[in-house]
Chains A and B, each alone.
Chain A
Amino acid sequence: MYEILTGPGLWLAFAIAVIGLVVRTVFYIQGLNWKLDRVAYTAFPAAGAKGAIRSILAFLVPFGNHSWRAKPGFTVMFFTFHIGLLAVPLFLEGHAVILMERFGIAWPSMSMGAADFWTVAMLVAALGIAMRRLLLPEVRIVTDAKDWFVLIISVAPFLSGYMVVHQIGDYNFWLLAHIVSGLAWIALLPFTKLFHVVGFFWSRAQLGMDYGIKRGGMKYKSFDW
Chain B
Amino acid sequence: MPEGKLCNRKPINTEEYLQQVLSDTGGKQYYKEMEELDVDVEKLQASLKATLKSRLKTWLDMCAHCGLCADACFLYEVNDRDPKQVPAYKIQSTLGEIVKKNGNVTNEFLRHCMDVAWSQCTCCNRCGHYCPHGIDMGVMFGYLRGLLYSQGFVPWELKIGSGMHRVYRAQMNVTTEDWVETCDWMAEESEEEWPGLTIPIDVEDADIMYTLNAREAKHYPEDIAEAAILFHLTGENWTVPSEGWEQTSLSMFAGDWEACTMQVKTVYDAIERLRPKRVVGTECGHAHRASAIEGPYWVGRPDGLPPRPYIHYVEWVAEVLRTGRLKIDPAKKLKKPVTLQDSCNYVRNHGLADITREIMSYIVEPEYFHEMSPNREHNYCCGGGGGFNGVGKYRPQRNVALIKKRDQILATGAELVIAPCHNCWDAIRDLEEEFEIGIKWSFLKPLLIEMAIVPDHLKPAEDAE
Which partner residue on chain A sits nearest B298 by CB separation? A38
Query: Does A28 lie within 8 Å of B65, measured CB to CB?
Result: no
With A and B bound together, what is the CA distance between A143 and B63 in angstroms?
A: 10
Query: Does B129 lie within 8 Å of A66, measured CB to CB?
Result: yes
Instruction: Check: A111 CB closer than 8 A to any chain B CB.
Output: no
Query: Does A27 lie within 8 Å of B64, measured CB to CB?
Result: no
Query: Does B377 lie within 8 Å of A203, measured CB to CB?
Result: no
B377: chain A residues at CB < 8 Å are 223-224
With A and B bound together, what is the CA distance between A206 and B63 in angstroms?
A: 15
B298: chain A residues at CB < 8 Å are 38
Interface SS majority for chain B: helix
With A and B bound together, what is the CA distance between A28 and B53 in angstroms?
A: 8
Query: Does A28 lie within 8 Å of B355, measured CB to CB?
Result: no
A217: chain B residues at CB < 8 Å are 351
Query: Does B355 lie within 8 Å of A220, measured CB to CB?
Result: yes
A147 touches which one: B65, B131, B300 (CB < 8 A)? B65
Query: Does B131 lie within 8 Å of A67, measured CB to CB?
Result: yes
Query: Does A67 lie within 8 Å of B53, measured CB to CB?
Result: no
A213: chain B residues at CB < 8 Å are 304
A203 touches which one: B68, B70, B72, B134 (CB < 8 A)? B134
Instruction: Check: B221 CB closer than 8 A to any chain A CB.
Output: no
Instruction: Check: B432 CB closer than 8 A to any chain A CB.
Output: no
Instruction: Check: A45 CB closer than 8 A to any chain B CB.
Output: no
With A and B bound together, what is the CA distance between A203 and B128 in angstroms?
A: 11
Query: Does B351 lie within 8 Å of A138, measured CB to CB?
Result: no
Query: Does A33 lie within 8 Å of B53, measured CB to CB?
Result: yes
- The count of residues in chain A whose C-beta lies closer than 8 Å to any C-beta of chain B is 60
A163-200: CB near B (< 8 Å → 1, else 0) gives 00000000000000000000000000000010110011
Tell me whether A220 and B352 are in contact in the complex, defined as CB-CB below 8 angstroms, given that A141-B83, A196-B133 are known contacts.
Answer: yes
A63-100: CB near B (< 8 Å → 1, else 0) gives 00111001100100010000000000000000000000
- The count of residues in chain B whose C-beta lies closer than 8 Å to any C-beta of chain A is 55
With A and B bound together, what is the CA distance between A130 and B66 in angstroms?
A: 10
B50-93: CB near A (< 8 Å → 1, else 0) gives 01011101110111111110111000100001011010110010
Interface SS majority for chain A: helix
Query: Does A142 lie within 8 Å of B92, measured CB to CB?
Result: yes
Tell me whether A36 and B133 are in contact in the complex, defined as CB-CB below 8 angstroms, given that A137-B83, A202-B58, A223-B351 are known contacts.
Answer: no
Tell me whether A43 and B133 are in contact in the complex, defined as CB-CB below 8 angstroms, given that A147-B65, A223-B377 are known contacts.
Answer: no
B68 touches which one: A32, A40, A71, A193 (CB < 8 A)? A71
* B80 → A minimal CB distance (Å): 11
Query: Does B351 lie within 8 Å of A216, measured CB to CB?
Result: yes
With A and B bound together, what is the CA distance between A206 and B132 in angstroms?
A: 13
CB contacts under 8 Å to A, within B299-336, are 300, 302-305
Query: Does A207 lie within 8 Å of B54, measured CB to CB?
Result: no
A71: chain B residues at CB < 8 Å are 68, 71
Query: Does B65 lie within 8 Å of A203, measured CB to CB?
Result: no
Query: Does B294 lie within 8 Å of A38, measured CB to CB?
Result: yes
Tell me whether A43 and B303 are in contact in the complex, defined as CB-CB below 8 angstroms, given that A28-B54, A36-B53 are known contacts.
Answer: yes
Instruction: Check: B278 CB closer than 8 A to any chain A CB.
Output: no
With A and B bound together, what is the CA distance between A67 and B51 in angstroms?
A: 30
* A125 → B minimal CB distance (Å): 13
Instruction: Check: B297 CB closer than 8 A to any chain A CB.
Output: yes
CB contacts under 8 Å to B, within A100-149, are 132-133, 136-144, 147
* A193 → B minimal CB distance (Å): 6
Query: Does B350 lie within 8 Å of A219, measured CB to CB?
Result: yes
With A and B bound together, what is the CA distance between A177 and B114 in angstroms?
A: 48
Query: Does B134 lie within 8 Å of A196, measured CB to CB?
Result: no
Instruction: Check: B173 CB closer than 8 A to any chain A CB.
Output: no
Tell me whether A196 and B54 are in contact in the complex, defined as CB-CB below 8 angstroms, given that A43-B304, A70-B130 are known contacts.
Answer: no
Instruction: Check: A214 CB closer than 8 A to any chain B CB.
Output: yes
B132: chain A residues at CB < 8 Å are 59, 67, 78, 200
With A and B bound together, what is the CA distance between A108 and B209 in angstroms?
A: 65
Tell me whether A142 and B88 are in contact in the complex, defined as CB-CB below 8 angstroms, given that A74-B68, A220-B354 are known contacts.
Answer: yes
A137: chain B residues at CB < 8 Å are 81, 83
A50: chain B residues at CB < 8 Å are none
A202: chain B residues at CB < 8 Å are 58
Tell me whether A138 and B302 are in contact in the complex, defined as CB-CB below 8 angstroms, given that A31-B55, A215-B349, A216-B352 are known contacts.
Answer: no
B305: chain A residues at CB < 8 Å are 40
Instruction: Check: B293 CB closer than 8 A to any chain A CB.
Output: yes
Instruction: Check: B376 CB closer than 8 A to any chain A CB.
Output: yes
A215 touches which one: B68, B71, B351 (CB < 8 A)? B351
7 contacts between A and B (CB under 8 A): A39-B304, A40-B302, A40-B305, A59-B134, A206-B134, A207-B134, A216-B352
Task: Give me the interface of B with A, judged by CB distance under 8 Å.
Answer: 51, 53-55, 57-59, 61-68, 70-72, 76, 81, 83-84, 86, 88-89, 92, 128-136, 293-294, 297-298, 300, 302-305, 348-355, 376-378
| 7 further A-B pairs in the complex, CB-CB below 8 A; given A142-B88, A147-B64, A220-B355 | A78-B132, A137-B83, A196-B64, A203-B135, A206-B134, A213-B304, A223-B129
